[in-house]
Structure 1
Amino acid sequence: MTSFHYETILSTLEDGGVRIISLNRPGSLNAMNRALIDDVARAFNDANACDATKAIVFTGEGRAFCAGDDRKEHVHPETEAEAHDLVEAIQEATRAITFGAKPVVGAIHGWAVGGGFEWAINCDFPIWSEDARAFFPEIRLGVFVTGAVTSLLPALVGLQKARELLFLGEQHDASALHAMGLAWRVVPANSLRSEAMAVAQQLAGLPQKAMMRMKRALNTSAVNDIERALRFETEATVAGFLAPETTRRLLAFE
């Protein structure tokens, strides 16, 4: 097995060319700090550049996939430059997942909140555990979503349902996400990893160049301009971070 080494990520190449990329901050439910954000981008870029990697399983250690922003380690950007640097780092992780050559099977369990929900949506084949729940808290905090979800969500669930998810920020369980089209499959918690591995192994056995071209073609043509969405999200999120009301709401949020 071939492994890359990161501060907050486990990345291991299993037999058959399936690489498991796992968020590894279980004590904080894999909440996003800057190290995790940067490591996700690095781990996917490394995996996509690795000839031995044929398919990727994206998951999290412990009790959750990713519980969103780490409030205990959150450092609110004080300048436009700081805010832009942080948001662009988040968007770079999405580019690595979405535009990367290798197909990504999500194995989502526990909580997938905010940016964690975005990463689950970025997966090509998101498999959700029956115990999983997800929501977007951003609008109630006065900030904005990232991860190209302003383009991906309407394409996946329709414009009206996307409005509901993003504006109202209500929690949804895996069965509701499956009905919407955000969960490709829903499986029992004890079989999540094995189900994800089985799909990844099937993908790893396909002709690689044809699969890479198919992923690129689908993500380029089936979804409205992802890069334009990423740029708009970055501008909107930076503006939100710099608003005094956002600071107050973020400090009050638990």
Structure 2
Amino acid sequence: MTTFTYATILSSLDAKGVRTIALNRPGSLNAMNRALIDDVARAFDDANACPDTKIIVFTGEGRAFCAGDDRREHVHPETEAEARDLVEAIQAATRAITFGAKPVVGAINGWAVGGGFEWAINCDFAIWGESARAFFPEMSLGVFVTGSVTSLLPALVGLQKAREMLYLGERYSAGELKDIGLAWRVVPDAELRQAAQAVAEQLALLPQDAIRRMKHALNASAVCSIEQALKLETEATVAGFLDPETTQRILSFQ
């Protein structure tokens, strides 16, 4: 087992070519601060560049996959340049997950909120623990979604359901996400890591060049839509951050 060092992530590579990338801020439910956002992009870039890595398992340590923005460490952008720098960093993580050569198996545990829900959607195969929950609070906060979910979510669940999820911010169980086609599989919580590892090992046995070509081909038809979504989301999120009411909404969010 080979381990890799990041400030906010636990990462290791086993003998079968499965690299685990685990968000490691369990005391904050793996909420997103700038260090975590940058580490996710860096860890996925490193994994995709590593010849010994075949498949990536993406998960979270502790009681949650990722509880969205860390309100305790929230530093609200005061200028357009600061806002744009933050949003581009978030979108860089999505590019590393989505456009990276290696397939990503998600092991989604506990809460997946906002940006954490986006990262779950970015996975190629998302396996959810049965007690997991997810929602998008962005509209209620006056900010916007990122992660290309304005493209990926309608493709997964249909446009009308995507509208419901994004506008209304309702909370969904793993079972409900499975029913609408967003969660690929739902398994008992105690079996989540094992199930993700089994799928990753199954994928690792396949011809890797073929798998990478398949991921590229599946995403290539959607690449223009995904890139356009990332650009539109970036502009909308920057504008949201510059709204003077947004900071108070984020800090008072429950």
TM-score, normalization by structure 2? 0.98
User: What is the CA-CA distance between 1:251 and the residue it aligns to?
Assistant: 2.6
**SS of residue paired to 1:3:** strand
Alignment of 1:41-52 (within 5 A): 41-52=41-52
Q: How many residues align?
A: 254
Letter in 1 for 2:207: P
Separation in 1, partners of 2:63, 2:220: 34
Contact 1:155–1:223, Cα closer than 8 Å, also in 2: no
Aligned residue number for residue 18 of structure 2: 18
List 4+ stretches of structure 1 deviating above 6 A.
Answer: none
Q: Name the Cα RMSD after superposition.
A: 0.9
Aligned residue number for residue 40 of structure 2: 40
Aligned residue number for residue 197 of structure 1: 197
Deviations 1:81-111 (A, max 9, x none): 0000000000000000000000000000100
Alignment of 1:1-254 (within 5 A): 1-222=1-222, 225-254=225-254
Separation in 2, partners of 1:149, 1:73: 24
TM-score, normalization by structure 1? 0.98
Determine what percentage of the aligned residue pairs are the same residue.
78
**SS of residue paired to 2:59:** strand
User: What is the CA-CA distance between 1:209 and the residue it aligns to?
Assistant: 1.0
**SS of residue paired to 1:57:** strand
User: What is the CA-CA distance between 1:223 and the residue it aligns to?
Assistant: 6.7
Structure 1: gaps spanning 5 or more residues: none
Deviations 1:104-152 (A, max 9, x none): 0000010000000000000000000001000000000000000000000
User: What is the CA-CA distance between 1:249 and the residue it aligns to?
Assistant: 1.4
Separation in 2, partners of 1:56, 1:87: 24
Deviations 1:48-94 (A, max 9, x none): 00000000100000011000000000000000000000000000000
User: What is the CA-CA distance between 1:219 and the residue it aligns to?
Assistant: 1.3
Cα 1:68–1:167, aligned 2, differ >3 Å: closer, same or farther?
same
**SS of residue paired to 2:96:** helix
User: What is the CA-CA distance between 1:224 and the residue it aligns to?
Assistant: 6.0
Separation in 2, partners of 1:225, 1:4: 33
**SS of residue paired to 1:30:** coil
Letter in 2 for 1:179: D
Separation in 1, partners of 2:104, 2:143: 28
Contact 1:155–1:224, Cα closer than 8 Å, also in 2: no
Letter in 2 for 1:138: E
